[in-house]
Chain A
Amino acid sequence: MATITLTINGTRRTDTVDPRLLLVQYLREVCRLTGAHVGCETSICGACTVDIDGRAVKSCTALAVQCDGSSVTTIEGLATDGKLHPLQEAFWSEHGLQCGFCTPGMIMSARALLAADRNPSEAAIRHGLEGNLCRCTGYHNIVRAVQAAARAMGQEARA
């Protein structure tokens, strides 16, 4: 067993974990943050995507012990003071989700995409979300949602 300290959604916590525990298992089973989902075991689906120290990472590809000292943001940490993140607002208003299972990972990947490119083209959005599978939407409204969020965040930045 190993003792690790992480900052999860702004709150520091220390836990003793099995060295083989994946970060996604740590988040879901130890922290009881179940927004990150497990849709495969080959790192294809992206439903488990979270932010580790500013990078979007599939949390099934990291061991919890590897993340000792890191700062992790999950979908649960995205809304601040009861206000939805522009991406959450946009996925809602553009109908960018149906069953919702891929959505937390999709939003976390889109967040990293917009951090790197404030005004991405449709092709850039599709490329940036290549690591996240959605079976419900055909991606059409996900692309629209990311475009809408980019507009909203641009306006916010200018305001």
Chain B
Amino acid sequence: MSPVTVPKFIGARIKRKEDPRLITGRATYTDDIVLPRMAYVKIVRSTEAHAKLQTVNVAAAKLRPGVIAVITGEDVKDRIAPLPVAHKIADLKVPPHYALARGEVHHVGEAIVAVIAETAAQATDAAEHVVVDYAPLPVVTDVEKAAGGAPFVHADLGTNVAFAFPLKAGDPDAQLARAPVRLKQRIMNQRLIPVAIEPRCVVADYDAGYQKLTLTSTTQIPHLLRLLLGAVLSLPEHKIRVVAPEVGGGFGSKLNFYPEEVLLAHLSQRLGRPLKWTETRTEGFLSTIHGRDQLADVEIGADQDGRLLALKVRLWQDLGAYHQLLTPVIPTLTVLMLPGCYTVKDIEVHLEGVFTNKTPTDAYRGAGRPEATFIIERAMDLIADATGKDPAEVRRINFPPANAFPFVTATGLAYDSGNYQGSLDKLIANAGYAALRKEQVAKRAKGELMGIGLTTYVEVCGLGPSAAMPAGGWEACELEVRRSGKIVVKTGSSPHGQGEETTFAQIAADGFGLTPDDVEVVHGDTDAVAEGIGTFGSRNQAVGGAALARCVETVRTKARRIAAHLLEASVDDIVFADGKLFPKGVPAKAKTFMDIVNVAYLADQLPQEIEPGLSAVHFFEPTNFTFPFGAHLAVVDVDQETGKVTLRRYVAVDDCGKIINPMIVEGQLHGGIAQGVAQALFEEAIYDANGQLVTGELMDYAVPKATFLPSWELDHTVTASPVNVLGAKGVGEAGTIASASAIMNAVVDALKPFGVKHMDMPAKSERVWRAMQGGAR
């Protein structure tokens, strides 16, 4: 921003503007909405993982009290097109994904029938009277077996492999052949369930008078949802309004286009009633996307100093039964990020996306990057173990130097800026690394098991340039200065806990010498905000914030033009600082921002070449991704009798570029770290051989409670991104991307006396205990 602004609120620890409504119970989430004449929808879901639907008998359900309609896949077959997948993958196999199943079901939880009744209880009761006669078909749940051949999830495809994504750089075979240290490891990133605490919910209201659909949904992407609804329902997009009101967490699970969204939109129009559907938690476990579920066979070549010479990785991504919105794209991010923050030049990756009879996988916090980090950071510790070097030293010699940026990786990404040794040095100092190692030696001598785990990560975010994105990578923003001198910012980002009403207000306030309370940030309503992409991939500040910064700059320039006219000065000489505009060196002649606003709207003093009004619209198209990075350290104690792992300390140094609000950045890291710790120690979605989800509810799926976790010790470095004027990189996913590998490196380190080299996640007591007995991993 130029010329001259002094940041006053950017970088400050400002309490959130969104909190007063949230802490008093006054916020409106989708399920809080009740409309006149609203009816309720219950979905009947498949209890089989793979079956032919012999008969779907809805006759008895239709006779139940309060029932308005009972709708099957056949009833909507010419009205709702299959759900789309957004991708740029060559030769992707796309089986039809219907909002309600037709003829066959492919995973437990697939929607078969919609029951609509006057009350939610009546819809639930009537759904019990839908009789589905299944003829079971062979089920496949193991990704490697599915990749190998029959049985097929979708018989028509004649394969379970939806796509292959190979990548090769340099000559990894030659490097492996000459590498003195060669290691092989199978690494599993287990399936996870996102569990935003707010279940999904949809309210659809088609107004026949206006011929307009209003769809309120627990979504991270209202504008993309508008586009997709129009396409699938053949409705004109300008006759659709999508609202994302208060959204209770997403973590990627609400970055999607779900059957219920399109179904309710269609049925509201068809039945002439507003409709609501609210997912139960057990229903959500089956019908909302899952994350991770990636198997890797890793081959590592290194020299005796610990320098990584070659990396060969075979990856199998379990896609589940269908493509959801971004399902096949997620593991391609793993491929691109496999080099991590290291200089390795010779790399070969072969990814296969494979269908199984399970709930589809898609973006879950980190989305492909935690998997990559886990593989490369386990590889670093395997090298350290094989060479007898300290894990910190092995990382150090593999870093590109701080003056090597932009740094182009073996997979072709250009890391924007970085100083990996800087964050590792700070971490080692903050954690007291040397003292921890000493303590570990002393403990081992006493037979106690203590582990120290490091990770140095880099992630790709600020998604991203449109050329690299399946559905646009820009973000849009409008800034309006109202006649009162207050500001309305309308952003296409759609936050759901990230505090953008506050951080965007900080950015705008600094531009005009105002306070954050003078700025209203509007989001999550496609009638209020014309265009947008949404909130995911840690892109709010780096892309959405950058679009806002452009708007601020445009409006400031216009204000300076008006001031130049009023003060009879050249626009280049007008300084705009602390809300005052004056010719350079003559602050006594200053006009206030309010003076300029009055002139802009009264317009009687404006010259002809300056339009009345004071507002701007910008689409920000980033030239590159951003690449936040950092170094994390975990200290664990392992109970030798029970195998119980206790996370004693967690120390992190993160670099997310320039920080708008440190309090919010820390909060994002806290939650992010917790989700990675959850993967390392607690959570796993388990299917049995029949395709039944055994961990089907919160009683069986271990989302961490407060007692499971310690407090986090955070610090940061600041390396500005050159990609946007804010210098921001993004922070929403960093903690999750880093922490699982730090924890597992610590657990394996603790078990070193037992010769343990690797362990799959989660490191639950049983698995750790077995490892100590020399048993299976």
A interface list, Cβ under 8 A from B: 18, 20, 28-29, 32-42, 44-45, 47, 74-76, 78-79, 84, 88, 91-93, 95, 97-104, 107, 122, 125-127, 129-130, 132-143
* Extra 18 A-B pairs, beta carbons < 8 Å, given A138-B672, A140-B712: A37-B31, A39-B198, A39-B281, A40-B697, A76-B24, A76-B26, A92-B16, A98-B249, A98-B499, A98-B668, A99-B247, A99-B249, A99-B497, A132-B706, A136-B497, A137-B667, A139-B709, A141-B670
Cα of A84 to Cα of B19 in the assembled complex, Å: 12
Q: Is the C-beta of B196 less than 8 angstroms from some C-beta in chain A? A: yes
Residues of B within 8 A of A42 (CB): 281-282, 697-699
Residues in B with CB closer than 8 Å to A100 are 18-19, 22-23, 27, 246, 248, 497
Please tell me if B609 contacts chain A, counting CB pairs below 8 Å.
no
Query: With a CB–CB cut-off of 8 A, which chain A residues contact B32?
Result: 28, 34
Can you list 21 A-B pairs with a CB-CB distance of less than 8 A? A32-B34, A34-B31, A38-B31, A40-B199, A76-B24, A84-B23, A92-B19, A92-B23, A95-B667, A97-B19, A99-B246, A101-B196, A107-B23, A127-B707, A130-B705, A135-B703, A136-B671, A138-B670, A138-B671, A139-B706, A140-B712
Using known A-B contacts A40-B281, A92-B15, determine if residue A136 contacts B706 with beta carbons closer than 8 Å. no
Whether B25 lies near A35 (C-beta < 8 A) is yes
- B498 at interface (Cβ–Cβ under 8 A)? yes
Q: Which residues of B contact A37 (CB under 8 A)?
A: 29, 31, 197-198, 248
Within the assembled complex, what's the spacing in Å between the Cα atoms of A148 and B400?
43
Q: How far is the CA of A37 from the CA of B174 in the complex (A)?
A: 59
Closest 7 pairs (CB-CB, A-B): A35-B25, A101-B248, A138-B674, A100-B22, A99-B497, A98-B497, A75-B25
A82 to nearest B CB, angstroms?
10
For the complex, is B666 an interface residue (Cβ under 8 Å from A)?
A: yes
B496 on the A face (CB < 8 A): yes
Instruction: Find out whether the CB atom of A103 lies under 8 angstroms from the CB atom of B705.
Output: no
Bound together, the chains give a CA A78 to CA B282 distance in angstroms of: 31
Does B280 reach chain A (CB closer than 8 Å)?
A: yes
Q: Is B243 an interface residue (CB 8 A)?
A: no
Of residues 191 to 245 in B, which have CB atoms within 8 Å of A's CB atoms? 195-199
Query: How many Å lie between the Cα of A47 and that of B711 in the bound state?
Result: 22
Neighbouring B residues of A102 by C-beta, 8 Å: 197, 248
Closest B residue to A108 using CB positions: B25
Number of A-B residue pairs having CB atoms within 8 Å of each other in the complex: 175
A135, B712: Cβ atoms under 8 Å?
no
Partner of A97, one of B23, B282, B697, B705: B23
B673 at the interface (CB under 8 A from A): yes
Q: List residues of chain A with CB within 8 A of the CB of B585.
A: none
Residues of B contacting A20 with CB < 8 Å?
A: 121
Q: B504 at the A/B interface (Cβ < 8 Å)?
A: no
| B16/A135 in contact, CB under 8 A | no
Q: What residues of chain A lie closer than 8 Å to B707, measured between beta carbons?
A: 126-127, 130
Residues in B with CB closer than 8 Å to A95 are 15-16, 663-664, 666-667
Residues 685 to 716 of chain B near chain A (Cβ within 8 Å): 697-699, 703, 705-707, 709, 711-712
Asked if B280 and A39 make an inter-chain contact with CB atoms under 8 angstroms apart, the answer reads no
CB contact between B25 and one of A18, A76, A138 (< 8 Å): that residue: A76
- A34 and B27 CA atoms in complex are apart in Å by 8
Min Cβ gap B715→A in Å is 14
Q: Which residues of B contact A76 (CB under 8 A)?
A: 24-26
- Chain B residues near A28: list those with CB within 8 A: 32
A40 surroundings in chain B (CB, below 8 A):
199, 281, 697-698
- Does B277 make an interface contact (CB < 8 A)? no
**In the complex with contacts A38-B31, A40-B281, A99-B705 CB distance below 8 A:** no
The A-contacting residues of B in range 570-615, CB under 8 angstroms, are none
A86 to B7, CA, bound (A): 32
Contacts of B667 in A (CB 8 A): 95, 98, 136-137, 141
User: Would B699 and A44 count as touching, CB distance under 8 A?
Assistant: yes
Taking a contact as CB atoms under 8 Å apart, the answer to whether B699 and A140 are in contact is no
Complex formed: what's the CA distance from A107 to B196 in Å?
18
Give B703's nearest chain A residue, CB to CB.
A133
B197–A45 touching, CB < 8 Å = yes
Alpha-carbon distance A20/B125, docked complex (angstroms): 13
Interface flag for B28 (CB, 8 Å): yes
Residues B706 and A130 in contact, CB atoms below 8 Å apart? yes
* Closest Cβ neighbor of B32 among chain A residues: A34
Residues of chain B touching chain A, judged by Cβ–Cβ distance below 8 Å, are 15-16, 18-20, 22-29, 31-32, 34, 121, 195-199, 246-249, 251, 278, 280-282, 496-499, 663-664, 666-668, 670-675, 697-699, 703, 705-707, 709, 711-712, 735
Whether A135 contacts B709 in the complex (CB less than 8 A), given A35-B26, A37-B29, A41-B280, comes out as: no
Q: Which residue of A lies closest to B25 (CB)?
A: A35
Task: Report Cα–Cα, A78/B24, bound state, in Å.
Answer: 8
B25 touches A99 (CB 8 A): no
Instruction: A134 to B91: give the CA distance in the assembly, Å.
Output: 41
Separation in Å of the B769 CB from the closest CB of chain A? Answer: 24
CA of A141 to CA of B100 in the docked complex: distance in angstroms?
42
Q: How far is the CA of A28 from the CA of B237 in the complex (A)?
A: 33
| Residues in A whose Cβ lies below 8 Å from that of B18 | 100
User: In the docked arrangement, what's the CA distance between A102 and B705, Å?
Assistant: 13
B281 contacts which chain A residues (CB < 8 A)?
39-42, 45
- Docked pose: A95 CA to B668 CA in angstroms: 10
Q: Which residues of B contact A126 (CB under 8 A)?
A: 705-707, 709
| Complex CA distance for A137 and B663, rounded to whole angstroms | 12
Q: How far is the CA of A76 from the CA of B705 in the complex (A)?
A: 25
Chain A residues lying within 8 Å of B671, measured Cβ to Cβ, are 98, 135-138
CB distance from B494 to the nearest CB of A (A): 12
Specify which chain B residues have a CB less than 8 angstroms from the CB of A129 in the assembled complex: 705-706
Complex alpha-carbon distance, A32 and B33, angstroms: 10
| A33 partner residues in chain B, CB cutoff 8 A | 25
With both chains docked as a complex, state the minimum distance between the C-beta of A147 and any C-beta of chain B, in angstroms: 11
Given contacts A92-B16, A99-B196, contact A122 B711 (CB under 8 A): yes
A84 to nearest B CB, angstroms? 7
In whole angstroms, how far apart are the Cα atoms of A132 and B260 in the complex? 28
Cα A102 to Cα B195 in complex, Å, equals 12
A47 & B197 in contact (Cβ 8 Å cutoff)? yes
Q: Verify A135–B251 contact, CB threshold 8 A.
A: yes
Q: How far is the CA of A122 from the CA of B710 in the complex (A)?
A: 10
CB distance from B113 to the nearest CB of A (A): 21
CA–CA, A129 and B16, complex, Å: 23
Q: Are B198 and A143 in contact (CB under 8 A)?
A: no
- Shortest distance between the CB of B480 and any CB in chain A (Å): 27
For residue A88, which residue of chain B has the nearest CB?
A: B23
Chain B residues, Cβ within 8 Å of A45: 197, 281, 698
Contacts of A78 in B (CB 8 A): 24
Alpha-carbon gap, A93 to B20, bound state (A): 11
Complex CA–CA separation, A103 to B198 (angstroms): 11
Closest to A107 in B: B23
Residue of B nearest to A94 (CB): B663
Q: Note all chain B residues with C-beta closer than 8 A to A29.
A: 34
A125 to B246, CA, bound (A): 28
Nearest opposing residue in chain A for B677, CB measure: A138
Interchain nearest-CB distance for B754 vs A (Å): 30
Complex alpha-carbon distance, A35 and B25, angstroms: 4
Task: Quote the shortest CB–CB distance from B225 to chain A (angstroms).
Answer: 18
- Given contacts A99-B249, A137-B671, is CB(A39)–CB(B705) below 8 Å? no
| B26 contacts across to A, CB distance below 8 A | 35, 76
Knowing A40-B281, A42-B699, the reply to whether A142 touches B706 (Cβ < 8 A) is: yes
Q: When chains A and B are docked, how far (Å) is the Cα of A159 from the Cα of B672?
A: 40
Q: Bound state CA distance, A13 and B664, in angstroms?
A: 41
Nearest A-chain residue to B281, judged by Cβ: A40
**Interface pair A39/B197, CB less than 8 Å apart:** yes
Of A97, A101, A138, the most chain B CB neighbours within 10 A belong to A138
State A125–B298 Cα separation when bound (angstroms). Answer: 43
Residues of A within 8 Å of B698, CB to CB, are 40, 42, 44-45, 133
A139 to B710 Cα, complex, angstroms? 9
Taking CB atoms, residues of chain A closer than 8 Å to B199 are 38-40
Q: How far is the CA of A18 from the CA of B124 in the complex (A)?
A: 15
A51 to B226, CA, bound (A): 41
